Amino acid sequence: MKKFLFGLLALVFAEIALFIVIGNAIGVLYTLLLIISTSVVGLLIAKQRGTKSVQDIQKSLQQGQPPAVAMIETFMIFIGGALLALPGFITDIIGLLFILGITRKLFKPVIFYFLRKRMKKGQVVILQR
DSSP, res 64 = T
- Longest Cα–Cα distance of the chain, Å, equals 55
Q: Which of 86, 88, 81 is nearest to 14 (CA)?
A: 88
DSSP 86: S
* Residue ranges per structural domain of the chain: 2-121
How many whole angstroms separate alpha carbon 125 and alpha carbon 30? 47
pTM of the shown model: 0.78
Q: Is residue 77 within 8 Å of 96, Cβ to Cβ? A: no
- pLDDT tens readout for residues 34-92: 999 988 888 888 888 888 888 888 888 888 887 877 888 888 888 888 888 888 999 99
